[in-house]
Structure 1
Amino acid sequence: MTQTQNTTHGGPDALGVPAWDFSSNANACGPCPTALAAVQQADASLYPDPTYAALREAIAAFHAVDAGRIVLAGSASEFIGRVSAWTAREGGRRAWWPAQAYGDYAQAAQAWRLERTDDPAQADLAWLCEPASPLGGAEQQAHQVVGSALQVVLDRAYEPLRLRGVCSLDPVAQNHVWQLWTPNKALGLTGVRGAYAIAPEHALTEARALEQLAPSWPLGAHAVAMLDAWLSSAAQDWLTHSLPTLREWKRELCAMLEDLGWTVTPSDANFFCATPPHRLNAMALRSHGVKLRDATSLGLPGQFRLSAQAPEAQVALRRALIAQKERVA
């Protein structure tokens, strides 16, 4: 297995679960006890309500929007594929996404033959993500995109894990775009798939059209349980209390890497990108139980994305990096 094959995605791989995983952007304080208990207690012997009426109303109340604006999805990736299919079905031909972005935007566009355009004003579908992956900052073209593209989706996967700053789009602008939420990262439960989108304020017809494109029961019992738990005050309190810990772990990690000669790019989220002082053998690190996310496939060759992790994980990373440097020397 090549280095690229092994590090193009975060989390477990063909070698199993990394002992010290910096490659996943999930909340390292997790899993959230409330959400984990809800998932473990979910009754998988029964179908969920096919209309998800109670869940839909609860999500709408949580975000203070009309329930008709809520579109449930099997995952963020499933929604990305579905909205791309809908755009193509409606006659859309072009899509725009940032130069550094989640790969599923481009993959879905290719699958539905949406041509990549460098001009958001020519886009029938445009993607934004804040905090952005992999750099963890604001999208510099956000206001231009919202003011010009036909349909805009704001991916908010990492908004709950924001450690500083605020979204560059104010609440008025947010009401004019699709908002895609995937709470499993914030809850530390990435193995449970489940997401939802909030349609723009005046897009109830479009929301119904996207609902009609969904398969039956896009959410299983465990996803419903996770999303229900996400809306609870207990889970939200746990998340709020986890952020100062993540902020300190991130500060310590950045300081450690800079001490070893890395160049660290500032970010607003619980993850960031950094460039090592010499060529890094990520597979050699993996043999030490340490996994980093190679950012080459994200448009940043030579850089790695790392998430804030507990002190013991940082000790393991430091040892592995020092050991590799000594072997090179």
Structure 2
Amino acid sequence: MTRMHGGTDALGVPEWDFSTNANACGPCPAVLAAVQQADTRHYPDPSYAALRESLAAFHAVDAARIVLAASASEFITRITACVTREGGQRVWLPEKAYGDYAAAAGAWRLETVREPAQAQLAWLCEPSSPLGGAEPFAPQVLSTDAVIVMDLAYEPLRLEGKSSVRGDALDRVWQLWTPNKAMGLTGVRGAYAIAPRHADALGRALDGLAPSWPLGAHAVALLQAWLSQAAQHWLAQSRKQLAEWKARQQAMLAGLGWHCLPSEANYFCASAPHAIDETALRAAGIKLRDTRSLGLADHWRLSVQPPQAQAALHTALRLQRETLT
């Protein structure tokens, strides 16, 4: 199976990258400094005791509920394996979603079902990808006995609205956090999940399936630093900047005849008024994300980027339009 992701490809790092949802204001200075100063001469503490305690305090949960992961994708694969090992046979997936959920289910030969009540494993993501909104089936999923994972990769980059899963409902789900996007440092891989209440057995099973030292020194530094007051203040300020850039970017595309779908996050989907020559855009240093692998045909997902990047995109799209006419 070919995995579809945004960002760097065989042509290298795009000059103007609209294909990934990393915080375009990044990298966060405080977190970047922590990563650069990480002690790579030694193994991290294999129990990650201090990191677990810090993450637990930040989220006001018991440290025993923290499960560390090498990345969100690694956790997706591991919890799918764990549920399958415990007898799970069926999975429910959002209609439009990140492809790794389905890839992991396929690797473990889980049957994808249409009704959440039939599943032993179910996935939610808010803000969702690619649309950046709420999951309409969340109430049905939350009413089941399935192992439910809530992917919160983009919650720190929410620019408006609130998650439909909050309060006591969060204690029913596995909360999967990947701060590298919010911190603008996607090259540093590291994630963690908060287990539901009374999920001790599955938490121990997940830890048992993990390799030794799933997090290297750079990931530990990133996860510790993202909890800091400096990082959270920077993140709050960046959301204000991203909201301004988002309005400008959507207006620019609308002026070229694009139709932008609503979104609560630092990205949105849009359809073009004519065919887009993706190869020509990439040659010009611009990369967009086709959303077919995310379950949405005839659209592109664009992350919010600074005015200079928007200007480059505007020029390239205008030239393509003029060529067609």
TM-score if structure 1 supplies the norm length? 0.97
**Paired letter, 2:64:** G
Q: 2:227: which partner in 1?
A: 231
Q: Tell me, yes or no, if the aligned pair for 2:176 and 2:191 is still in contact at 8 Å.
A: yes
* SS class of match (1:54): helix
Unaligned runs of 5+ in 2: none
- Quickly say closer, same or farther: Cα 1:43–1:258, change in 2 above 3 A: same
| 1:173-188 matches, cutoff 5 A | 173-188=169-184
- Which digits, 9 at most, give the CA deviation of each residue in 1:105-140, with x for residues without a partner? 000001111111111001000000000000000000
Shift of 1:51: 0.2
**Paired letter, 1:308:** V
Q: Tell me, yes or no, if the aligned pair for 1:6 and 1:13 is still in contact at 8 Å.
A: no
* SS class of match (2:231): helix
* SS class of match (2:182): helix
Q: 2:132: which partner in 1?
A: 136
- Residue 68 of structure 2: which of 53, 66, 72 is its match? 72
Does residue 262 (structure 1) correspond to residue 270 (structure 2)? The answer is: no
- Residue 168 of structure 1: which of 135, 142, 164 is its match? 164
Stretch deviating more after TM superposition (20-29 or 203-212): 203-212
Q: 1:292: which partner in 2?
A: 288
- Which digits, 9 at most, give the CA deviation of each residue in 1:257-313, with x for residues without a partner? 011000100100000000000111111111111110011111112100001100000
**Paired letter, 1:32:** C
Tell me the C-alpha RMSD between the 2 structures.
Answer: 1.3
- Residue 186 of structure 2: which of 187, 190, 201 is its match? 190
Stretch deviating more after TM superposition (205-214 or 190-199): 205-214
Shift of 1:141: 0.7
Does residue 26 (structure 1) correspond to residue 22 (structure 2)? The answer is: yes
**Paired letter, 2:286:** V
- Quickly say closer, same or farther: Cα 1:294–1:108, change in 2 above 3 A: same
Shift of 1:149: 4.3
**Paired letter, 2:98:** Y
* Partners of 1:283 and 1:171 in 2: CA distance: 45
**Paired letter, 2:36:** Q
Q: 2:110: which partner in 1?
A: 114
Q: 2:95: which partner in 1?
A: 99
* Partners of 1:41 and 1:119 in 2: CA distance: 48
* SS class of match (2:172): coil
Does residue 86 (structure 1) correspond to residue 115 (structure 2)? The answer is: no
Shift of 1:7: 11
Unaligned runs of 5+ in 1: none
Does residue 215 (structure 1) correspond to residue 201 (structure 2)? The answer is: no
* Partners of 1:56 and 1:6 in 2: CA distance: 34
Q: Tell me, yes or no, if the aligned pair for 1:83 and 1:210 is still in contact at 8 Å.
A: yes
* Partners of 1:6 and 1:252 in 2: CA distance: 34
Q: Tell me, yes or no, if the aligned pair for 2:4 and 2:99 is still in contact at 8 Å.
A: no
* Partners of 2:288 and 2:5 in 1: CA distance: 9
Runs of 4 or more above 3 Å deviation:
5-8
- Residue 47 of structure 2: which of 35, 47, 51 is its match? 51
* Partners of 1:253 and 1:129 in 2: CA distance: 24
- Which digits, 9 at most, give the CA deviation of each residue in 1:212-243, with x for residues without a partner? 11000000000000000011111001001100
| 1:198-209 matches, cutoff 5 A | 198-209=194-205
| 1:266-285 matches, cutoff 5 A | 266-285=262-281
**Paired letter, 1:314:** Q
Shift of 1:206: 1.5
Q: 1:145: which partner in 2?
A: 141
**Paired letter, 2:242:** L
**Paired letter, 1:126:** A
* Partners of 1:171 and 1:198 in 2: CA distance: 14
Shift of 1:9: 2.0
Shift of 1:93: 0.1
* Partners of 1:6 and 1:315 in 2: CA distance: 32
- Quickly say closer, same or farther: Cα 1:205–1:75, change in 2 above 3 A: same
Q: Tell me, yes or no, if the aligned pair for 2:123 and 2:150 is still in contact at 8 Å.
A: yes
* Partners of 1:9 and 1:141 in 2: CA distance: 25
Q: 1:35: which partner in 2?
A: 31
TM-score if structure 2 supplies the norm length? 0.98
* Partners of 2:42 and 2:72 in 1: CA distance: 24
